Copies of this chain bind each other. A is one copy, B any other.
């Protein structure tokens, strides 16, 4: 009898995995080949505001890991309270993106990590000064030496470590993933109907794969123009091609319940609003209130286990560490 149950379970597992592989959304897998020493160092750097001119802004300021890996603001706050040009995308599952930033101007997480540090509107520092700060702190110097087997710290190692930490920030075990893996009771009927609508209406054409997005650039306003005061041009800014104007990287919908407000301009305050507008401008569909509610219910099942870890304790500055300059113009 025990044998029979086991055989049945195995048969179900095969059936389920076949089932899961037919779906356009794939369960999140845990990251492989993480260099844990690099990731451990990267976690400190991710939380270290001394990589900014002010000593106040860290990666975690705008990609807050207590808040879905974003800041939940329309556009972010940078050095000297400057208003950012675009809404901060979530860092969660960002390793699955085809490229980084809304316009894809960074090829990968490592290339991305250096951007905000040196951006005058964000952390407003320079790579040279950031490295100088780290070099003045013996605990950092020792850890870089151990992790990278090199005498000198450069921005390469800094961004490599941050990127390695970011690769660990995946969110498995969402209710939807449990359902994908065969746990049929993980979703209720409203959520399942929402998923069917999501597939049948065409949302899934762009929002698919492990991250439910992040793998292509699409025009914001494919069917109907999107009206915004935000001047961002998207991919055109990178390629220079007119046809790429308003093409943005399709955002991941993983944890979308946590990553409000929505769109590159952050103008959609609620998930319902975002679904309605997407239906209209990308698919030429007017969802009923009931349909929208069902899709929203489905989307909320994409919230996975949030990264859980101890707050890093940062090594103290020394007498030689350049001091932050929050109020110097």
Contact = CB atoms under 8 A, between A and B. Distances in A.
A79 B64 CA distance: 18
Nearest to A323: B269
Contact of A316 (B50, B68, B272): B68
A47 B72 contact: no
A47 B73 contact: no
B311 A66 contact: yes
A61 B71 CA distance: 13
A161 interface: no
Nearest to A82: B81
Interface in A74-132: 77, 80-81, 83
Given A311-B309, A317-B72, A83 B327 contact: yes
A313 interface: yes
Given A83-B327, A269-B319, A306-B313, 9 more contacts: A49-B64, A49-B71, A55-B73, A56-B71, A65-B311, A258-B316, A260-B316, A308-B310, A311-B311
Interface string A32-69: 00000000000000011110001110000100111110
Nearest to A81: B81
- Size bracket, chain A contacts: 35 or more
B54 A77 contact: yes
A295 to B, nearest CB: 15
Contact of A324 (B54, B72, B81, B316): B72
Contacts of A272: 319
Interface in A279-329: 306, 308-314, 316-317, 319, 323-324, 326-327
